[in-house]
Amino acid sequence: MEKKITVVIVTYNGENWIKKNIDSLLNSNFPIDIIVIDNASNDRTINLLQQYSKIKLIQNQRNLGFGKANNIGIDIALKNGADAIFLLNQDTWVFESTISNLVHKLFENRNLGIVSPLHFSADTSILDSNFTTYFDRYKTEIDSNSIRIVPFVNAAAWLVSKECFLKTGYFEPVFSHYGEDRNFCDRLHYHGFEIGIVKNASICHDRVVKLNSRKIILQSQYLILIQLINCNQAWLYSWFLGLKLVFGLPKFYFKTQGRNQSIYLFYKLILYYFSLLLNSKKINQIRVQSKAGTNGLIFK
């Protein structure tokens, strides 16, 4: 299958993973271009990347976050004629046939905008704990049970078609680190695409998920924002769902975080919600951009 595939990787202090990541890509049985966008790493990441002559390295002067940095790579790849872009986290590695299997399934099923491999943990044998949440919850199968259709899968390893980016836009730059992928999936559905997990393609994701108070607050705030800018929902209903999250998320975290932390989370979320109300014009602008497919097309 003659398709031009570009891999885009965003790095930030990734010296522990980047060599294994790049080496695995270079051993792929499908020809690829590789673009790395570094978010001002201060470890040995740049030195390690400069040892590879086959990658295009772009060094940001500051940390732009996940979405904005990816947008730079996506834009370059599309302008250079990529038929699809493989967005890959720095703390992952692929197998020889991962990309080729993803490519075949993506272009055999034109309704798919994103295909994802199975995500295994670093031991290569157990599915990543967060990934199982997305994979096990939904049972819609197509193509002789080789693809599972899901409403969402995290963006650790997305193969995204050119057509999907052209209709859906890029990552919404209002998000800094969390929430970009969920918002993109909402917009993808609005524009008529689906998401598939390909069962004969795999990656390993070498990470340990840790929750702290700051992370819980930030992720909770972004969950509210995701609801408010979801173009699949009516404007008033989105605000109603956002308000439900203000009350529901502290209750959800009560068992693990305790009473005081839950009260503090509620305080932060109610203030955040009213700050969004004061910026409802901006919220509406993002919703309009989502329907037009222009999110993230203007960036620095």
- Each residue of 91-102: pLDDT tens digit? 999 999 999 999
How far is residue 273's CA from residue 295's CA, in Å, rounded to a whole number?
22
More confident residue, 235 or 133: 235
First to last CA, the chain: 34
Closest CA to 133 of 147, 115, 146, 151: 151
Q: 125 falls in which pLDDT band (50, 70, 90)?
A: confident
Q: Are 114 and 159 in contact (CB under 8 A)?
A: yes
Q: Taking 80 as the threshold, does the pLDDT of residue 298 lie above it?
A: no
Q: 300 falls in which pLDDT band (50, 70, 90)?
A: very low
- Each residue of 146-159: pLDDT tens digit? 899 999 999 999 99
Q: Are 76 and 172 in contact (CB under 8 A)?
A: no
- Each residue of 159-181: pLDDT tens digit? 999 999 999 999 999 998 889 99
pLDDT at 209: 73
